[in-house]
Structure 1
Amino acid sequence: MGDLVTARLVLHPMTGDEAGWLVAGEPPHGVRWAPGYPTDGDVVAAERLLRTLADTGPFGSYEIRLREDGAAVGGAGFHGPADEDGRVTIGYGLVPSARGRGYACEALRALLVCARVHGVTCVRGDADHENIASHHVMTAAGMRSVEEDERVTYFEIAWTGGHGHGRPGGRPAGP
C-alpha cells in the first residue's frame, strides 16, 4: 500500500520496522518528528500493529506527515480490516503544535476515500463528550453522530450501492 497524499499531507502506511522505532521513541534515519510526536495514541497504534504484524492492506496505521517539510505530526488509521459487513473503525491524533489547522479533517477525509475505494460500507469513529474538536473534525469530514453512551459520542458515515465511485457522503469525485 502506498502513501495517501492530500493537498498538505502525506499519510504514510506504517511498516513493522517503523512501528518499532516509534514504540522505541527513535525516529528512523531521515525522518523528522515534530515536537511531541509520537503521542500516546500513536504508540498504542504502533503497538497494535506490532502485535498483529499482519498484512492489513490499506486498513492499517498511517503516520501523518506535512508535505512541506516531511515532519511527522500525528497518526491516523483503521483499527483493523473491514468486518464481514464491510465496516471499519478509524482513529486519528495530532501533536498539539499541529492542531487547529485542519490537518485532522484532511487526514480523515483521505481515510474515508481510501475506505470507500476499498469497498467499505461504513466507517465509525468516536470521541469523548468533552473532545468537541474531534466532534467537529468528524462532522466536517461528512460523518454524523449516531449514538452516545455515558462517556463517548459515536460517529459514522455509510454508503450504499457500488464501491469505488465518488467521495464519502455521496458527493461526486473531483475538486
Structure 2
Amino acid sequence: MQNMGGERVTEAVADAVAALRTTVDRDDWGEVLAGRVEWTCLQVAEHIASDLISYAGQLAGRAQKAYVPFNLFLEEGTDAEGALQVIETTGVLFAATIRSTPREVRAFHPYPFRSANREGFAAMGVAEVLLHTHDIMEGLGRTYEPPAHLPEYVLTRIFPEVQPGPDAWHTLLWATGRGELPGRAPRTEWRWSNNLVLPTERLTLQGVTPASAADLAAGGDGGFEWVEDGPFDGTREAAGMTIKAYEAGVHRPEFGLFTLVRREDGRAIGGMGFHGAPDEDGRTEVGYDLAESARGHGYATEALRALSDWALARDDVRGLCATIEPDNAPSQRVIARAGFARASVEDEQAYGEMETGLRLYVRPA
C-alpha cells in the first residue's frame, strides 16, 4: 500500500483551484457567504490555506502537545485570484512536508486521540480543500464534485465509523452535515477520527483504518513495513472482518484491529484487536497473532496487557475474553501472563465453546 498522501493533497488542491478559478471574475468573494458556513467566500479561501500550512507545521515541527503557535492571513486587499495563489502555494508546501515525513512520526491533533500520522494529516487536508471548495461554490451559486477517489480517500481514513454510501462524495457531504442520504438522518454534529495508537515499552499498537484493512485483506502491507515473514494469516483475516464491519456500518475503530510495530526498527510484527464492540454485558473478545520470527520475545504478552488495560479502563467494558485451541500452549501462556484465567465450565457452555472444542479465557474488569 503505497503512501499517496502527498499526491492526494496535490490532486485535491489542483482540482479545487481549477473549479474555483472559473469564478474569479466575480468581485463579491468578500461579501457572499460560503454555503452553510458563516464566513465569506474569501474568508473560507483563507481558512483553506491556513489549514494546509498549519498541518504542514504540525508535521514539520513534530508538535506533540498543542498546535504550533502561528497562523496565516491574507493581506488586506487580496482578491479571489490572489487567494487561490495562496492555496496553491500552501498546498505545495503541505504535500512536500507529507512526502518528507517518516511513516512513524505522529504530531498533535485533538480529534479524537490527540495525534495523527502523515496519512491522517493528508486526509484532513484533502477534506478541508474539498469541503470548503464545495462551500464556496455553493455560496456563489455553482456546484462542485471532485473525482470520486478523493472523498473515498478521506472517508476510509478519518471517517471509519461512517458506513459507505451510494457514492463517496455525497457520503462525505452527509457525514459533515452538508447533504442528505436516503435512509439516514441528517448529521448535525461530526468530527473526523484519526487512528488510536497505544504505546508500550517496545511497541506501538496502531489502529488499522478501513483503507489499511482493505489493503491487508487483499494481500498488501496495509501501509506498514513488515518483518520478512509477516503479516501472518490471522492478521489478514482480522482485516477482512474489519472491512465487513465497516461496510455494514457497525465498525467502531477503537474496538477493531491494531498492528503491532516495534519501536527499535519501525517494523510491523503482528496483529491484535477485538472481534467487535462490547456486547450488552460489556464483554468483548480479543485475538492476536505474530509473525513467526517475532515469537518468543514477549511481544504478544506486552501488547495484550496494554490493550486489555486500556479496554478495561473504559466504562463500557466490563470484561474481556479469548478463545484458544486446547493444543496451543504458547497462546495459553500469553493469555495467562496477560491476566486472563480459564473460564468455568458453565461460562464455556454459555459462550458455546463446549461445542467448538475451544478453551475460553476471561479477564474481568
Q: What is the TM-score normalised by the length of structure 1?
A: 0.85
**3-state SS of paired residue (1:113):** helix
- Rounded to whole Å, the distance in 1 between the matches of 2:357 and 2:256 is 26
| Cα separation, 1, equivalents of 2:364 and 2:313 | 13
The aligned amino acid for 2:233 is D
Q: CA deviation at 1:2?
A: 2.0
Letter of the 1:81 partner, please give it: A
1:8 equivalenced with 2:214 (yes/no): no
Is residue 239 of structure 2 the alignment partner of residue 46 of structure 1? Answer: yes
Query: Which is bigger in relative contact order (C-alpha 8 A, separation at least 6)?
Result: 1
In structure 2, the partner of 1:133 is: 330
Q: Which residue of 2 aligns with 1:86?
A: 282
Aligned to 2:341: 144
Judged with a 3 Å threshold, the aligned counterparts in structure 2 of structure 1 residues 28 and 52 are, in CA distance, closer, same or farther, namely: closer
Give the aligned length.
158
Hey, what does 2:318 align to over in structure 1?
Answer: 121
How far off is 1:144 after superposition? 0.2
Q: Distance in 2 between matches of 1:28 and 1:139?
A: 30
Give the helix-richer structure, 1 or 2.
2
Number of the residue aligned with 1:163: none
Secondary structure in structure 2 of the residue aligned to 1:138: helix
| Amino acid in structure 2 at the alignment position of 1:154 | L
Q: Identity, % of aligned pairs?
A: 37
Equivalent residue for 2:258?
62
Equivalent residue for 1:157?
363
CA separation in 2, counterparts of 1:32 and 1:65?
Answer: 9
What does residue 173 of structure 1 align with?
Answer: none
Corresponding residue SS for 1:58 = helix
What's the TM-score, normalizing by structure 2? 0.42
The answer to which structure has the higher strand fraction is 1
In the alignment, is the contact (CA less than 8 A) between 1:14 and 1:62 conserved in 2? yes
1:77 corresponds to: 273
CA contact (8 A) 1:58 1:114 kept: no
CA contact (8 A) 1:9 1:67 kept: yes
Q: Equivalents in 2 of 1:93, 1:48: separation in Å?
A: 15
What is the DSSP-based 3-state SS (H/G/I as helix, E as strand, rest coil) of the residue aligned with 2:252?
coil
CA RMSD of aligned residues (A): 1.5
Alignment partners' CA distance in 2, 1:32 and 1:55:
25
Confirm or deny that 1:18 pairs with 2:215.
Answer: no
Larger radius of gyration: 2
Tell me which amino acid in the other structure corresponds to 2:334. Answer: V
